[in-house]
Structure 1
Amino acid sequence: MPDAHVLVTGGNRGIGLGIATRLLADGYAVTATSRSGALPDGAPAGLGVVACDVTDAASVDAAVTAAEQARGPLTRVVANAGVTADQLLLRMSEEEFSGVVDTNLGGAWRLLKRASKSMIRARTGRVVLVGSVVGLYGSPGQTNYAASKAGLVGLARSVTRELGGRGITCNVVAPGFIDTDMTAALDDERKQSYLGAIPAGRFGAVDDVAAAVSFLLDDAAGYISGAVVPVDGGLGMGH
C-alpha cells in the first residue's frame, strides 16, 4: 500500500536495512529504529530513523510516538531487532538466556503492544515478525535464540486471534542462512557444511527476505495471518 507508514526495528543494518530499503522502493514511508538513533553511511535517502531500545518499554513508546509525529500513524510494523549470545546449554548463563529472550521476543511484544494502538483505531494493519529457521529446526548452542524465535510464532498466532477482527494480520518470516557479515565470517569448512544441508545449494540473500516481508505487508496478503513463511532454501522443510 503506497503512502502507508512502516516501522522497521533494527533497520539500520543487515537484514533490517535490506527490508527498509525494499519498502522504500515499494513506495512506503519508512522509519527505522536503531539503538543510537543514527543510520550508517550510504543508507537510502528518505529513510527516517528514531532511537529505540526494544528491551525498554518507555524507549519503545517514545520511538513510536516520534515516528508517528514525523510521518503519521503506523499501519505496518516489522519487528526485526534481535541479538545472539550462543553458548552450550550447560555453560549458558542466566543473563545470556534472559537477555536474548527479552530482546528478541520481549522486544517484539513491546513493539506490538504500543504500535497496535494506531492499527486498532484504523481497523487495518500488517505486522511481520522476523523469526528464524532455528526457531522450529533447533540448533546446538542456541537454546536461548531458538526459544526466542519459536516464541514469535505463538505471539503472531495469539495476536491474530485477538486482533484479526480489526483487519490486522500478523505473520512470521523465518530466514535460514542469509549472506550477511555473519556468514561471511565463517571459515570455508563450516560454510560448506551448512551449504550441504540446504537443498537450494546456496545461502539466501537479504533481498530474498525483504521480498517475503514486502508481500506480507501488502494488501494482497490480507487473508494470510498467523503463518510462518520460511525463506531458507528448503532447509527447514516446513518445520
Structure 2
Amino acid sequence: MTNQKNGLPRILIVDDEPAIQRFLQTALDTGEFSLHKADDGHSALAAAVATRPDIILLDLGLPDMDGVEVIRRVREWSQVPIIVLSVREREDDKVKALDAGADDYVTKPFGIPELLARMRVALRRSLQEVVEPVFRSGGLEVDLHLRKVKVQEEDVQVTPTEYDLLRLLVTHAGRVLTHAHLLKQIWGVGYVEQPHVLRVNISNLRHKIEKDPSRPRYIITEPGVGYRLKIQ
C-alpha cells in the first residue's frame, strides 16, 4: 500500500545536478507517480520524513554528505526501497551502498526502461514484505511457516543451511544482498572472508531449484557484489 491518498507511489529524487533532476522529472512525470525532489543530503533526510516516499532515487555524490551516509540514516527508521543512481562504477562503491541498506544500484548513464523495471521490482518487494507466509515467484514456492520448498508443484529437499540462505533471499526478494551480508547472516562474522562457502551453497541451491543452473531464473548473480532473488 502506498503512502499517497490518491494511490500514486511517492518518488523522492535526490540529486544535486539540475540536468539529472529535470531528466528524471520529465521521464517519470507520466501520471503514475507523485514526484518530490531534494538536492543535498540534509534536505533529502528532511524530505524523507516529511513525504514518506515509497521509493528514493539517490545519487551518491551529494554536496554536503556522501549518499552512503544518507542511506545509513534513513535505515535507522525506515525500510523504504532505495535505488542508487551513480556514476561510481567500482565494485567496492556498490558494495558499500548495498551494505549500508540500498536495495539496488544503477550506474549512470542508464535507460529509463531499465530504471522503471527496477522501480517496479522495488515496489513489489516492499508490498510483499507485509507478507504472506508463502512466497511465490514463477514456479518457485517457499512456505516460510512450514519451511517447505517447491518447484513446479514438486517438493524440493534442501539442507537447513540451504533453506536459511533461500529464506534470506526470499525475504529480501528483488534486492541485491552482498556476499558479506549473506555470509554474516547465515554463517557468522567469522566467515566473511570465506566466500567459497557461499558459492558452494548457492551452486547447490541452484542445482535443486533451477531448471538450468548455468542460466538461473531465480538466484541471480550480481558480479563482484552478491546475489538477488528475482521476482517474476
Q: How high is the TM-score relative to the length of structure 2? A: 0.43
Higher relative contact order (CA 8 A, sep 6+): 1
Indicate the structure with greater helix content. 1
Q: Which protein has the larger Cα radius of gyration, Structure 1 or Structure 2?
A: 2
Q: How high is the TM-score relative to the length of structure 1? A: 0.42
